[in-house]
Amino acid sequence: MKITNRRSREYLDGVQQFLNFASNHAYPDGTISCPCKKCVHTDSWPIDVVQAHLVSKGICRGYNPWIFNGELSSAKTSTEIPSSHVQENPIEYADLHDMLHDMFPIQDMASRPMEEVPSVQQPTEGPAEGPNEDALKFMKLLEDANQPCYEGCKYYSKLSAIVHLYHMKCLNGWTNKSFTMLLEFLLHFLPSNAKLPKDYYEAKKIIKDLGLSYEKIHACPKDCVLYWKENANLEACPNCNLSRWENNESEGQQSTNASSKKRKKKAAKILRWFPLKPRLQRLFMSPETANHMKWHVNGRVNDGLMRHPADSEAWKSFDSKYVEFSSEPRNVRLGLAADGFNPYGNMSTTHSTWPVVLIPYNLPPWMCMKRSYFMLSLLIPGPTSPGNDIDVFLQPLVEELKELWDVGVETFDVSSKKSFQMHAALLWTINDFPAYGDISGWSTKGSLACPSCNYDKQSRWLRYGRKFSYIGHRRFLDSDHRFRKQKKSFDGNIDTRSAPITISGGEIMLQTDAVADHVFGKKKVNLTNKRKRGEEALTVWKKRSIFFTLPYWEYHVLRHNLDVMHIEKNVVDNIIGTLLNLDGKTKDNLKARQDLKDMGIRSELHLEKVGNDQTRMPHACYHMNASEKDGFLQVLKDVRVPDGYSSNISRCVKFKERKISGMKSHDNHILMQQLFPIAIRGSLPPEVSRHLIDLSCFFREICSKVLNVEELGALEKRIAVTLCELEKIFPPSFFTVMVHVVMHLASEAKVAGPVHYRWMYPIER
């Protein structure tokens, strides 16, 4: 089981030994229980299939003895459970037992036989002599874990049976009533000495101490306030006067029958808060993760390359400013991600629930971004997105982060067998572009949509397209670059501006003084006071982010990340829609050509009159004819990729309509970085394809797992030239804000490190 090379002779001999033993105890149909890591005894297969599974997937650790394949004798667990008690079961009873010891690392009790542990029902007299609260919880759970589900049951303990049933309830969406009905049936079906609870509420009490609980906090239906702390006892919102409850029945409407039961009030909106401190403590209580939480100090290779956020300027700058915090390697650095999704899976239903997820960056690269280490902190209810009012729901988390920074929490480190005072800090947030605006408070729409450029305006209003175009990337070039003096190829002007300067947290505090006391809540918009274009500069900050209440947030080098995943998808959509001239998606249309004439540039692309009342769009260099489109699509149609590399992109190609549709974000990622340079090479002129391939190479390099700071500096200069070259090719309407922010990705990577720690792929999955 400990051999990592499953092709070694030693491992193959062990597999054969197991198969020889198990074949003597096969089922009547000739199959045996499969102990591979995927099946975990949930399926039975012929012997040759089980052999293939064990070689390709490996055997589940802890399967010793082979109780599902004929070996009934069992070894004692670490707590010396008597042989008459529960053995391993299909949901890995040994893992459940280990989890209890990870949760409650009480060595003097956990290592003793159960007979020597004081009874839970009769604790020792006297406050100083008896076991503490954690010890009582541990002993109660351990007692349930050691107690068989019923006399003679070999596979399930009382605790493991309840956890297994509760797991099925959650996975299948059973109601509390249906779960109670199942328990009642099992109590009648199983022997009379079965130890199962009688209903859902009793089962929930038993597993509560496993740490699966959360706190419910009522919220105003219009997102004005939380009924929390000083507002905990209010019956109506202090801002909008809306009732806290779903049905606001007055006394006159209530039933006059005194014998009738009074209905329990139901809150109109409920925030679920999963406290962070106990979950961070468990990272150090588990032997599997305790050592890894110090990897960024003890295991990281310091060779000048960036492989982890710990190698980045943002991390090092924070450490240099807060030396006391960084001197303890076990202090935790966190990232925060939030996004909305529809939990009902019905795309026609407009519902948005927002989970807020925390990522512990102390862990090494092979563990850091895995789902099992993500921590759900808040579950913000729908049906509508919280939008700018998300700060209202973030209050419990921010209060906890403040406490973790100022006071910390006493934590037992199982690797050193000692307790220490653990502190934690939030490094940055990860969001798509609309959520970036909601979290940061910066308006990501209008003339100042780019948060990196801040008030240094980058956009230009298109008179006919009726939108802002984010051209003008010549300002990011060297001051003596030849493009700066070329008028007709760009916007008709010489560009002598310098690149915008990244502003500090202190400057943001000054800019947000006017909205520091913003009142939250969904209120009706007064249409008479609707702002006019040109007033964006006065109202671009919608609020001061709640994260500025954290003592260190102002001094971060980078506070919010631009999400490469969504940026790449939007860039691909713009390119594909324009090259294939897709209706509603192309950025080259009649209005775009009118804007070219209005700007006085590229006269060869201006609309031409044909007859009295008709116009014709001249052919552009990026246009494909029918045969070129067919050739482009045929390359994508013929693509075959390894299983799991991407979805079947060939299914997204529609030859009859000459379009591509139905691609997911990761498909756009594969298309942009791997397939696009091959597909366009024979379908577009070299002066167009060359620069699109440069853009593809940029995304491929920026998404590398290992980054070099010097190479990122060169990449930052290259992307400025590439965007300028594309400005000479495509119309201004092509350059939406999502195309423009590509300019800032290299500079963010220089500050914060590899992209795959800071994008939405693992969060959305």
Q: Map residue 624 onto helix, strand or coil.
A: coil
Comparison of pLDDT for 371 and 85, the residue scoring more: 371
Each residue's pLDDT tens digit, 514-548: 998 889 988 754 444 455 544 444 578 999 999 99
Tell me what pLDDT residue 155 has: 66
The least confident of 23-37, 56-70, 233-247 is 56-70
CB 503 within 8 A of CB 559: no
Tell me what pLDDT residue 84 has: 35
CB 691 within 8 A of CB 595: no
Mean pLDDT value of segment 296-325? 93
pLDDT band at 95 (very low <50, low <70, confident <90, very high): low
Mean pLDDT value of segment 464-471? 94
CB 465 within 8 A of CB 731: no
CB 722 within 8 A of CB 698: yes
Tell me what pLDDT residue 104 has: 64
Tell me what pLDDT residue 538 has: 53
- Alpha carbons 260 and 721: distance in angstroms, whole number: 77
Strands (E), 94-198: none
Q: CA triplet 559, 565, 571: central angle to 5 degrees? A: 115
CB 753 within 8 A of CB 308: yes
Which amino acid is residue 257, in one-letter code? N
Q: Please, how many CA atoms are within 13 Å of residue 612, restricted to the half-sphere of its CB? A: 0
Residue 269 has pLDDT above 90, yes or no: yes
Tell me what pLDDT residue 32 has: 87
Tell me what pLDDT residue 539 has: 72
**Residues forming beta bridges with residue 560, ordered by sequence position:** 429
Share of the chain above pLDDT 70, in %: 85
Using only C-alpha atoms, what is the Rg of the chain?
Answer: 31
CB 610 within 8 A of CB 616: yes
- Alpha carbons 444 and 437: distance in angstroms, whole number: 5
Tell me what pLDDT residue 78 has: 35
- Distance from the Cα of residue 445 to its chain's centroid: 24
Comparison of pLDDT for 620 and 30, the residue scoring more: 620
The least confident of 410-419, 528-537, 677-686 is 528-537
Q: What is the mean pLDDT of the chain?
A: 84
CB 25 within 8 A of CB 12: no
Q: Are strands 560-561 and 424-430 parallel, antiparallel or unpaired?
A: parallel
Tell me what pLDDT residue 295 has: 93
Structure tokens at 183: 């328990």
- Alpha carbons 46 and 32: distance in angstroms, whole number: 6
Residue 87 has pLDDT above 50, yes or no: no
CB 471 within 8 A of CB 460: yes
User: Does the CA dihedral 214-219-224-229 come out positive or negative?
Assistant: negative
- Alpha carbons 434 and 63: distance in angstroms, whole number: 48
Tell me what pLDDT residue 133 has: 62
- Alpha carbons 236 and 159: distance in angstroms, whole number: 42
Tell me what pLDDT residue 160 has: 82
Mean pLDDT value of segment 167-180? 86
Tell me what pLDDT residue 186 has: 86
- Alpha carbons 373 and 334: distance in angstroms, whole number: 11
pLDDT band at 613 (very low <50, low <70, confident <90, very high): confident
Which residues contact residue 367 at a Cβ distance below 8 angstroms, ignoring those fewer than 6 apart? 289, 292, 373
Which residues contact residue 109 at a Cβ distance below 8 angstroms, ignoring those fewer than 6 apart? 117, 131, 135, 138, 139
- Alpha carbons 482 and 166: distance in angstroms, whole number: 68
pTM (predicted TM-score): 0.78
The least confident of 111-115, 185-189, 599-603 is 111-115
- Alpha carbons 579 and 585: distance in angstroms, whole number: 10
Tell me what pLDDT residue 698 has: 96
Which amino acid is residue 463, in one-letter code? R
Share of the chain above pLDDT 90, in %: 52
Please give the helix or strand (H or E) that residue 420 lies within, else none: strand 418-422
Place of tokens 């001197």: 327
Each residue's pLDDT tens digit, 721-751: 999 999 999 999 999 999 999 999 999 999 9
pLDDT band at 376 (very low <50, low <70, confident <90, very high): very high
> Measuring CA to CA, which residue among 561, 556, 508 is closest to residue 313?
556
Each residue's pLDDT tens digit, 12-56: 888 888 888 888 888 777 888 888 877 777 678 888 888 888 888
